[in-house]
Amino acid sequence: MPRRSLTTVVSALGLAAASLGLWTGAGTAQAAAAVPTPDHTVVVVFENHSYGQIIGSSSAPYINSLKAGGANLTASYALTHPSQPNYFDLFSGATQGITNDNCYTPGFSSAPNLASELIAAGRTWASYNESLPSQGSTTCSSGKYARKHNPWFGFSNVPTSSARTFAQLPTDYGTLPQVSFVIPNLCSDMHDCSVSTGDTWLKNNLGAYATWAKTHNSLLLVTFDEDNGTSGNHVATVLYGQPVLAGSSTATTYDHFDVLRTIEDMYGTAHAGAAATSSDITGVWN
């Protein structure tokens, strides 16, 4: 699976990396300064489609409109197959030993993760999970809900109450936590239903947030857990909102660890797992 070159590109801002892609202490501070601090960040994760099945597809007009008005990561990659380990990678910088989609024991890990880091840094966090039976429910599945897409339940240092139902997503977006993950159900996320179904779901349910984010220093990040099962694992990742340079793109190779690192540096947290040696997304910010 492709990872970035061992030599990190030195940007026009003078950011420097140590050899083998490891940031020095000074480099880390500079990298953090190179990303914005949105008032609110909402991450939406869809399922099991390759970059080419989404970007440029007539079945995904809304996602492509976000790309046109925001930023497109043209070399964005998931890390493994199947789905569940990718969610743990994105959330905690490691699979935590998860290698399949089986239902795990809630709270089996106390490893650092995005939510625990945000809480430790005095930031606010929540997830909004479509078809979750009730706030904090640790059930494995219920109708179109599947816990395999909700890694926060694997960590004892993340309150289960921070896992909210999708109905609890506020319509007053100023009351959102600083960082939120929104997880569609197995139909809305394109796993069981079509690309157009998921694209329409995104427009209908988060289109108003995207519009609001454009004028309220906030960010919408749309990505995919994995591609359609290939060894390449090339996925679509699109960013949209006031901090994003409209119409921008980057061909720098990024993966789930880099997305995690970027959110961590936006809010000044520690770095979980492989995020400690990953890179911030750059070149797409105002």
Q: Name the residue ranges covered by the structural domains of the chain.
A: 37-277
pLDDT at 98 over 70: yes
Class of domain 37-277: alpha beta
pLDDT at 116 over 60: yes
Q: Would the CA dihedral through 155, 156, 157, 162 be positive or negative? A: positive
Q: Is the pLDDT of residue 26 over 50?
A: no
Which residues share a beta bridge with 128?
164, 182
Contact 161, 135 (CB under 8 A): yes
pLDDT digit string, tens, across residues 140-192: 999 999 999 999 999 999 999 999 999 999 999 999 999 999 999 999 999 99
SS3 197: helix
Write out pLDDT tens, residues 35-50: 999 999 999 999 999 9
- Please report how many Cα atoms fall inside a 13 Å half-sphere around the Cα of residue 138, on the Cβ side: 15
Residue 14 has pLDDT above 90, yes or no: no
Q: Which is more confidently placed, 16 or 102?
A: 102
Residue 7 pLDDT > 80: no
> Please, are residues 252 and 280 in contact by the beta-carbon 8 Å criterion?
no
Query: pLDDT at residue 114 above 90?
Result: yes
Q: What sign does the CA torsion over 54, 56, 57, 59 have?
A: positive
What percentage of the chain reaches a pLDDT higher than 90? 88
- For residue 72, pLDDT over 50 is answered with yes
Mean pLDDT estimate for the chain? 91
pLDDT at residue 81 tops 90: yes
Confidence band (pLDDT; 50, 70, 90) for 234? very high
Q: Give the separation between CA 169 and CA 214, rounded to whole angstroms.
A: 19
pLDDT score at 69? 98
Nearest to 215 by CA among 69, 55, 68: 69
Handedness of CA 178, 183, 184, 190 (dihedral sign): positive
Whether residue 5 is predicted with pLDDT greater than 50 in this model: the reply is: no
Say what the pLDDT of residue 33 is.
Answer: 52
Does residue 16 register a pLDDT over 80? no
pLDDT surpasses 70 at 83:
yes
* Each residue's pLDDT tens digit, 117-137: 999 999 999 999 999 999 999
Which residue would you say has higher pLDDT here, 265 or 16?
A: 265
Total-model pTM: 0.90
